Amino acid sequence: MARKPLIAGNWKMNLNHLEAIALVQKIAFSLPAKYFDKVDVTVIPPFTDIRSVQTLVEGDKLLLTYGAQDVSAQDSGAYTGEISGSMLAKLGCTFVVVGHSERRTLHGEDNDTVLAKTKAALKNGITPIVCIGEGLDIREAGQHVSYNVEQLRGSLAGLSAEDIAKVVIAYEPVWAIGTGRVASAADAQEVCAAIRATLGELASPDVASGVRVLYGGSVNAKNVGEIVGQTDVDGALVGGASLKADEFATLSAIAAGGPLP
């Protein structure tokens, strides 16, 4: 099944709502409509920027989409500081990142939490981008494939094939995030292929062939072509390079198969 590449820019805790508007305008200007037939492009700003991004995207009928970096596992109630899936749906979010390694590490999110948040996204019609990835110790011990397969199984445990068909998976080796140390294209392919095989077991080969599996970790305009050229890599979750309009537009164009803007 042909899978349309997805380039998702995870801004992390960067840019206020005014800076967000400026960046989205620049990206949209740099990436004319013709590219969007061949690549889906989404920005994932902090919560406080989303309303402004929504107003801009809807007002100017931009073709890029947007999402959030996290979602509560709860529907509503006494959960100070949490943001619900229905709130994000109301803001027009297409995607939500779930289980990013920074949340797994800094906020103690385990697979059960990630699963609950994945369900919260699905319940509200938002596509979860479920993140998995090994640390350097696991990679050096040669355990990365089995580690990622187990993390994937835990993060999707009990979901129906119909639900699995609606998720995006992001493989982000922790040692490659923000370090400038990108996994080789072969490394990315090895784990992404194992992810797809596992999705085949959890759902069906047919479902697995339609699910987008992204790579993330020091992706930039120079390395994105080789990475998304791999059979089982369907795009990228981009951190640092997504904060620069020109670079993000260029790498999105490369993922679309060109030409460069």
CA atoms within 13 A on the CB side of 232: 20
Is 111 or 218 the residue whose CB approaches ligand 13P more closely? Answer: 218
Amino acid code (one letter) for 203: A
Binding mask 160-189 for ligand 13P (x = CB under 6 A): ------------x----xx-----------
State how far the alpha carbon of 191 is from the alpha carbons of 93, 144, 223, in Å: 28, 8, 17
Tell me the window of 23-31, 159-167, 192-200, 216-224 that interacts with ligand 13P (CB under 6 A): 216-224
107 classed as catalytic: no
15 in contact with ligand 13P (CB under 6 A): no
From the list 102, 109, 134, 172, the catalytic residue is 172
Binding mask 27-66 for ligand 13P (x = CB under 6 A): ----------------------------------------
114 in contact with ligand 13P (CB under 6 A): no
Is 10 or 151 the residue whose CB approaches ligand 13P more closely? Answer: 10
> 31-64 b/e with 16+ CB inside 10 Å = b?
beeebbeebbbbbbbbeebbebbeebbeeeebbb
Pick one of 5, 6, 7, 10: the residue that binds ligand 13P (CB under 6 A): 10
> 211-247 b/e with 16+ CB inside 10 Å = b?
bbbbbbbbbbbebbeebbebebbbbbbbbbbbbbbeb
Distance CA(87)–CA(94), nearest Å, equals 12
172 classed as catalytic: yes
Pick one of 218, 223, 230, 250: the residue that binds ligand 13P (CB under 6 A): 218
Distance CA(231)–CA(248), nearest Å, equals 22
Distance CA(220)–CA(7), nearest Å, equals 11
Cβ proximity of 132 and 171 under 8 Å: yes
235 in contact with ligand 13P (CB under 6 A): no
133 in contact with ligand 13P (CB under 6 A): no
> Is beta strand 235-238 parallel, antiparallel or unpaired with respect to 6-10?
parallel
Q: How far is the CB of 50 from ligand 13P (least distance, A)?
A: 17
> Do the annotations mark residue 11 as ligand-binding?
yes
> Do the annotations mark residue 239 as ligand-binding?
yes
Is 10 or 250 the residue whose CB approaches ligand 13P more closely? Answer: 10
237 in contact with ligand 13P (CB under 6 A): yes
φ, ψ of residue 130 to 5 degrees: the values are -85, 120
Closest CA to 255 of 26, 49, 7: 7
Q: How far is the CB of 10 from ligand 13P (least distance, A)?
A: 4
Q: Which residues fall in the annotated binding site?
A: 10-12, 178, 218, 239-240
Catalytic center residues: 100, 172
Q: Which residues bind ligand 13P (CB under 6 A)?
A: 10, 100, 172, 177-178, 216-219, 237-241
